Amino acid sequence: MTQRILALHLGLIGLLFVLQFVLPPYHHDNIARIMVMAAYAMGYNLMFGYTGLLSLGHAMFFAAGMYGMGLSMQHAGFAAEAALAVGITAGFGLALGVGLLALRTTGVAFMIVTLMFAQALFLAILYFGPFTRGDEGFVIPLSARIFAGLRLSDPTIRYFAALALFALVLLAMLWLIRHPVGRVLIAIRENEERTRMLGYDTWRHKLFAVTASGTISGTAGAVYGLLFGYVGASFAEVPYSIFPLLWVLLGGAGTLVGPFIGTLFMFYLIDLASGVTDAYMLVVGVALLLLTLFAPRGIMGMLRERWLPWLP
Protein backbone atom coordinates (compact mmCIF):
# COMPACT_ATOMS: atom_id res chain seq x y z
CA MET A 1 0.00 0.00 0.00
CA THR A 2 2.76 2.38 0.98
CA GLN A 3 4.62 1.50 -2.20
CA ARG A 4 1.89 2.47 -4.62
CA ILE A 5 1.32 5.74 -2.76
CA LEU A 6 5.01 6.54 -3.01
CA ALA A 7 5.02 5.42 -6.65
CA LEU A 8 2.10 7.68 -7.50
CA HIS A 9 3.68 10.78 -6.03
CA LEU A 10 7.20 10.15 -7.25
CA GLY A 11 5.65 9.34 -10.61
CA LEU A 12 3.92 12.69 -10.72
CA ILE A 13 7.16 14.47 -9.90
CA GLY A 14 8.97 12.39 -12.52
CA LEU A 15 6.32 13.20 -15.12
CA LEU A 16 6.64 16.91 -14.43
CA PHE A 17 10.42 16.54 -14.72
CA VAL A 18 10.16 14.94 -18.14
CA LEU A 19 7.56 17.44 -19.33
CA GLN A 20 10.17 20.15 -19.07
CA PHE A 21 11.93 18.76 -22.12
CA VAL A 22 8.89 18.35 -24.34
CA LEU A 23 6.57 21.25 -23.55
CA PRO A 24 6.35 24.22 -25.94
CA PRO A 25 7.43 27.50 -24.31
CA TYR A 26 3.92 28.77 -23.61
CA HIS A 27 2.84 25.70 -21.66
CA HIS A 28 6.28 25.38 -20.16
CA ASP A 29 5.83 28.76 -18.50
CA ASN A 30 2.26 27.90 -17.46
CA ILE A 31 3.25 24.66 -15.77
CA ALA A 32 6.00 26.44 -13.84
CA ARG A 33 3.43 28.92 -12.51
CA ILE A 34 0.98 26.13 -11.78
CA MET A 35 3.55 24.22 -9.75
CA VAL A 36 4.27 27.24 -7.53
CA MET A 37 0.57 27.95 -7.13
CA ALA A 38 -0.05 24.27 -6.40
CA ALA A 39 2.46 24.54 -3.56
CA TYR A 40 0.40 27.47 -2.28
CA ALA A 41 -2.76 25.37 -2.63
CA MET A 42 -1.15 22.45 -0.78
CA GLY A 43 -0.39 24.82 2.08
CA TYR A 44 -4.01 25.88 2.06
CA ASN A 45 -5.12 22.26 1.91
CA LEU A 46 -3.20 21.42 5.07
CA MET A 47 -5.47 23.78 7.00
CA PHE A 48 -8.72 23.41 5.10
CA GLY A 49 -8.62 19.89 3.71
CA TYR A 50 -6.80 18.08 6.50
CA THR A 51 -7.58 20.07 9.64
CA GLY A 52 -11.00 21.40 8.68
CA LEU A 53 -10.18 25.08 9.23
CA LEU A 54 -11.65 27.28 6.50
CA SER A 55 -9.57 30.42 6.05
CA LEU A 56 -10.77 33.23 3.81
CA GLY A 57 -7.57 35.21 4.16
CA HIS A 58 -4.72 33.06 2.93
CA ALA A 59 -3.54 35.73 0.51
CA MET A 60 -2.01 37.46 3.53
CA PHE A 61 0.47 34.61 4.00
CA PHE A 62 1.27 34.43 0.29
CA ALA A 63 1.74 38.20 0.23
CA ALA A 64 3.77 38.18 3.45
CA GLY A 65 6.23 35.80 1.84
CA MET A 66 6.29 37.74 -1.40
CA TYR A 67 6.70 41.16 0.20
CA GLY A 68 9.11 39.88 2.85
CA MET A 69 11.29 38.66 0.00
CA GLY A 70 10.76 41.65 -2.31
CA LEU A 71 11.05 44.44 0.23
CA SER A 72 14.20 43.04 1.82
CA MET A 73 15.74 43.00 -1.65
CA GLN A 74 14.46 46.41 -2.61
CA HIS A 75 15.24 48.29 0.58
CA ALA A 76 17.96 46.30 2.32
CA GLY A 77 19.74 45.06 -0.79
CA PHE A 78 19.50 41.42 0.28
CA ALA A 79 20.62 38.73 -2.12
CA ALA A 80 18.03 36.23 -3.34
CA GLU A 81 18.98 33.55 -0.80
CA ALA A 82 18.68 35.86 2.20
CA ALA A 83 15.56 37.49 0.78
CA LEU A 84 13.89 34.11 0.39
CA ALA A 85 14.69 33.36 4.03
CA VAL A 86 13.14 36.68 5.03
CA GLY A 87 10.03 35.86 3.00
CA ILE A 88 9.61 32.43 4.59
CA THR A 89 10.15 33.91 8.04
CA ALA A 90 7.54 36.59 7.33
CA GLY A 91 5.00 33.94 6.33
CA PHE A 92 5.84 31.91 9.42
CA GLY A 93 5.65 34.88 11.81
CA LEU A 94 2.39 36.19 10.42
CA ALA A 95 0.81 32.73 10.47
CA LEU A 96 1.87 32.18 14.07
CA GLY A 97 0.46 35.55 15.14
CA VAL A 98 -2.78 35.14 13.23
CA GLY A 99 -3.12 31.58 14.49
CA LEU A 100 -2.69 32.62 18.13
CA LEU A 101 -5.49 35.16 17.75
CA ALA A 102 -7.85 33.62 15.19
CA LEU A 103 -7.92 30.18 16.79
CA ARG A 104 -9.74 31.65 19.75
CA THR A 105 -12.75 31.64 17.43
CA THR A 106 -14.36 28.83 15.46
CA GLY A 107 -16.58 28.34 12.44
CA VAL A 108 -17.95 31.44 10.76
CA ALA A 109 -16.17 33.78 13.15
CA PHE A 110 -12.85 32.13 12.23
CA MET A 111 -13.48 32.71 8.54
CA ILE A 112 -14.33 36.35 9.10
CA VAL A 113 -11.36 36.97 11.39
CA THR A 114 -8.97 35.58 8.76
CA LEU A 115 -10.72 37.66 6.10
CA MET A 116 -10.35 40.80 8.20
CA PHE A 117 -6.66 40.25 8.96
CA ALA A 118 -5.99 39.69 5.27
CA GLN A 119 -7.90 42.84 4.38
CA ALA A 120 -5.92 44.81 6.96
CA LEU A 121 -2.64 43.60 5.43
CA PHE A 122 -3.79 44.47 1.91
CA LEU A 123 -4.85 47.96 3.02
CA ALA A 124 -1.56 48.37 4.87
CA ILE A 125 0.32 47.60 1.64
CA LEU A 126 -1.65 50.37 -0.05
CA TYR A 127 -1.26 52.74 2.86
CA PHE A 128 2.50 52.40 3.00
CA GLY A 129 2.64 53.08 -0.73
CA PRO A 130 5.92 55.01 -0.66
CA PHE A 131 7.58 51.95 0.83
CA THR A 132 5.69 49.17 -0.98
CA ARG A 133 4.87 51.00 -4.24
CA GLY A 134 1.19 50.39 -3.40
CA ASP A 135 -1.14 49.24 -6.16
CA GLU A 136 1.52 49.28 -8.86
CA GLY A 137 3.91 46.96 -7.09
CA PHE A 138 7.49 46.66 -8.25
CA VAL A 139 9.62 44.58 -10.53
CA ILE A 140 12.54 42.58 -9.19
CA PRO A 141 15.45 43.29 -11.50
CA LEU A 142 16.98 40.42 -13.47
CA SER A 143 20.30 41.02 -11.78
CA ALA A 144 18.79 40.24 -8.39
CA ARG A 145 17.14 37.02 -9.48
CA ILE A 146 20.18 34.82 -9.13
CA PHE A 147 19.95 32.01 -6.59
CA ALA A 148 23.07 30.04 -5.69
CA GLY A 149 24.60 31.11 -8.94
CA LEU A 150 21.58 30.07 -11.03
CA ARG A 151 19.72 32.60 -13.18
CA LEU A 152 16.09 32.19 -12.09
CA SER A 153 14.91 34.17 -15.09
CA ASP A 154 16.09 31.41 -17.41
CA PRO A 155 13.00 29.32 -18.35
CA THR A 156 14.61 25.95 -17.74
CA ILE A 157 16.07 26.89 -14.39
CA ARG A 158 12.82 28.57 -13.44
CA TYR A 159 10.92 25.41 -14.30
CA PHE A 160 13.20 23.26 -12.20
CA ALA A 161 13.11 25.69 -9.31
CA ALA A 162 9.30 25.57 -9.38
CA LEU A 163 9.42 21.78 -9.58
CA ALA A 164 11.84 21.64 -6.65
CA LEU A 165 9.43 23.67 -4.50
CA PHE A 166 6.48 21.60 -5.63
CA ALA A 167 8.23 18.28 -4.98
CA LEU A 168 9.49 19.44 -1.60
CA VAL A 169 6.04 20.50 -0.44
CA LEU A 170 4.35 17.41 -1.88
CA LEU A 171 6.73 15.01 -0.17
CA ALA A 172 6.65 16.97 3.08
CA MET A 173 2.85 16.78 3.04
CA LEU A 174 2.97 13.06 2.28
CA TRP A 175 5.28 12.57 5.23
CA LEU A 176 3.18 14.77 7.51
CA ILE A 177 -0.19 13.18 6.92
CA ARG A 178 1.23 9.73 7.62
CA HIS A 179 2.98 11.04 10.71
CA PRO A 180 1.07 10.81 14.03
CA VAL A 181 0.68 14.61 14.10
CA GLY A 182 -1.00 14.51 10.70
CA ARG A 183 -3.33 11.74 11.86
CA VAL A 184 -4.38 13.93 14.77
CA LEU A 185 -5.08 16.84 12.38
CA ILE A 186 -7.39 14.58 10.37
CA ALA A 187 -9.03 13.45 13.60
CA ILE A 188 -9.65 17.11 14.51
CA ARG A 189 -11.31 17.66 11.14
CA GLU A 190 -13.53 14.64 11.71
CA ASN A 191 -14.49 15.26 15.32
CA GLU A 192 -12.62 17.79 17.42
CA GLU A 193 -14.33 17.02 20.73
CA ARG A 194 -13.56 13.31 20.41
CA THR A 195 -9.94 14.09 19.59
CA ARG A 196 -9.66 16.26 22.67
CA MET A 197 -11.12 13.48 24.78
CA LEU A 198 -8.49 11.09 23.47
CA GLY A 199 -6.00 13.32 25.25
CA TYR A 200 -4.74 15.46 22.40
CA ASP A 201 -4.17 19.18 22.81
CA THR A 202 -6.29 20.11 19.82
CA TRP A 203 -5.56 23.83 20.15
CA ARG A 204 -1.83 23.30 19.76
CA HIS A 205 -2.34 20.96 16.85
CA LYS A 206 -4.51 23.54 15.12
CA LEU A 207 -1.92 26.21 15.80
CA PHE A 208 0.65 23.95 14.21
CA ALA A 209 -1.60 23.48 11.16
CA VAL A 210 -2.14 27.23 10.73
CA THR A 211 1.54 27.99 11.17
CA ALA A 212 2.74 25.27 8.81
CA SER A 213 0.08 26.17 6.28
CA GLY A 214 0.99 29.87 6.44
CA THR A 215 4.70 29.09 6.17
CA ILE A 216 4.18 26.96 3.05
CA SER A 217 1.96 29.67 1.54
CA GLY A 218 4.52 32.33 2.38
CA THR A 219 7.28 30.25 0.82
CA ALA A 220 5.20 29.87 -2.34
CA GLY A 221 4.66 33.64 -2.42
CA ALA A 222 8.35 34.39 -2.01
CA VAL A 223 9.33 31.87 -4.69
CA TYR A 224 6.66 33.19 -7.06
CA GLY A 225 8.06 36.69 -6.70
CA LEU A 226 11.61 35.46 -7.27
CA LEU A 227 10.80 33.31 -10.29
CA PHE A 228 8.49 35.69 -12.09
CA GLY A 229 10.10 38.94 -10.97
CA TYR A 230 7.10 40.89 -9.80
CA VAL A 231 5.71 41.87 -6.39
CA GLY A 232 2.26 43.46 -6.33
CA ALA A 233 -0.62 44.30 -4.02
CA SER A 234 -3.08 42.30 -6.13
CA PHE A 235 -1.54 39.13 -4.65
CA ALA A 236 -2.77 40.29 -1.25
CA GLU A 237 -6.33 40.93 -2.40
CA VAL A 238 -9.41 38.83 -1.77
CA PRO A 239 -9.24 36.84 -5.04
CA TYR A 240 -5.90 35.36 -4.02
CA SER A 241 -7.54 34.12 -0.83
CA ILE A 242 -10.37 32.60 -2.83
CA PHE A 243 -8.22 30.93 -5.50
CA PRO A 244 -6.57 28.33 -3.24
CA LEU A 245 -9.99 27.47 -1.81
CA LEU A 246 -11.26 27.02 -5.34
CA TRP A 247 -8.27 24.95 -6.47
CA VAL A 248 -8.45 22.71 -3.43
CA LEU A 249 -12.20 22.23 -3.73
CA LEU A 250 -11.91 21.43 -7.41
CA GLY A 251 -9.03 19.00 -7.00
CA GLY A 252 -10.36 17.46 -3.81
CA ALA A 253 -9.97 18.79 -0.27
CA GLY A 254 -7.99 16.48 1.96
CA THR A 255 -6.27 14.68 -0.89
CA LEU A 256 -2.56 15.07 -1.57
CA VAL A 257 -2.48 15.62 -5.32
CA GLY A 258 -5.89 17.31 -5.37
CA PRO A 259 -4.47 20.84 -5.05
CA PHE A 260 -2.20 20.29 -8.04
CA ILE A 261 -5.00 18.78 -10.16
CA GLY A 262 -7.32 21.61 -9.16
CA THR A 263 -4.78 24.33 -9.95
CA LEU A 264 -3.97 22.71 -13.29
CA PHE A 265 -7.63 22.37 -14.27
CA MET A 266 -8.64 25.86 -13.20
CA PHE A 267 -5.65 27.46 -14.86
CA TYR A 268 -6.35 25.85 -18.20
CA LEU A 269 -10.10 26.34 -17.85
CA ILE A 270 -9.57 30.08 -17.53
CA ASP A 271 -6.94 29.94 -20.23
CA LEU A 272 -9.31 28.22 -22.65
CA ALA A 273 -12.25 30.39 -21.63
CA SER A 274 -10.26 33.55 -22.18
CA GLY A 275 -9.81 32.47 -25.80
CA VAL A 276 -13.59 32.71 -26.12
CA THR A 277 -14.45 35.45 -23.67
CA ASP A 278 -12.58 37.75 -21.32
CA ALA A 279 -15.07 36.94 -18.61
CA TYR A 280 -12.75 34.84 -16.49
CA MET A 281 -14.61 35.77 -13.30
CA LEU A 282 -17.73 34.21 -14.74
CA VAL A 283 -15.84 30.96 -15.22
CA VAL A 284 -14.61 31.09 -11.64
CA GLY A 285 -18.07 31.86 -10.33
CA VAL A 286 -19.81 29.14 -12.28
CA ALA A 287 -17.08 26.65 -11.35
CA LEU A 288 -17.57 27.42 -7.66
CA LEU A 289 -21.33 26.98 -7.94
CA LEU A 290 -21.12 23.73 -9.86
CA LEU A 291 -18.52 22.39 -7.44
CA THR A 292 -20.57 23.08 -4.33
CA LEU A 293 -23.69 21.74 -5.97
CA PHE A 294 -22.45 18.64 -7.71
CA ALA A 295 -18.95 17.70 -6.59
CA PRO A 296 -18.31 18.84 -3.04
CA ARG A 297 -15.48 16.30 -2.78
CA GLY A 298 -13.62 17.44 -5.87
CA ILE A 299 -11.94 15.40 -8.59
CA MET A 300 -9.54 13.36 -6.47
CA GLY A 301 -12.12 13.06 -3.71
CA MET A 302 -14.49 11.45 -6.16
CA LEU A 303 -11.79 9.13 -7.48
CA ARG A 304 -10.98 8.10 -3.94
CA GLU A 305 -14.60 7.47 -3.10
CA ARG A 306 -15.35 5.43 -6.20
CA TRP A 307 -12.20 3.57 -7.14
CA LEU A 308 -9.09 4.37 -5.17
CA PRO A 309 -9.79 4.19 -1.44
CA TRP A 310 -6.07 4.03 -0.68
CA LEU A 311 -5.42 7.53 -2.03
CA PRO A 312 -3.90 9.72 0.69
Binding-site member from 14, 77, 151, 292 for another protein (CB under 8 A):
292
Do the Cβ atoms of 46 and 177 come closer than 8 Å? no
CB of 206 to another protein, least distance (A): 13
Nearer to another protein, 228 or 267 (CB): 267
Number of residues forming the site for another protein (CB under 8 A): 56
Nearer to another protein, 116 or 142 (CB): 116
Q: Does 45 bind another protein (CB under 8 A)?
A: no
CB of 33 to another protein, least distance (A): 21
Residue 146's DSSP bridge partners are 151
CB of 128 to another protein, least distance (A): 10
Q: Does 7 bind another protein (CB under 8 A)?
A: no
Q: Does 249 bind another protein (CB under 8 A)?
A: yes
Q: Does 200 bind another protein (CB under 8 A)?
A: yes
CB of 24 to another protein, least distance (A): 30
Q: Does 187 bind another protein (CB under 8 A)?
A: yes
Residues 94-153, interacting with another protein (CB under 8 A): 101-102, 104-109, 111-113, 115-117, 119-120, 123-124, 126-127
Q: Does 272 bind another protein (CB under 8 A)?
A: no
Q: Note the residues at the interface with another protein (CB under 8 A).
A: 54, 56, 101-102, 104-109, 111-113, 115-117, 119-120, 123-124, 126-127, 180, 183-184, 186-187, 190-191, 193-202, 238, 242, 245, 249, 279, 281-282, 284-289, 291-293, 296
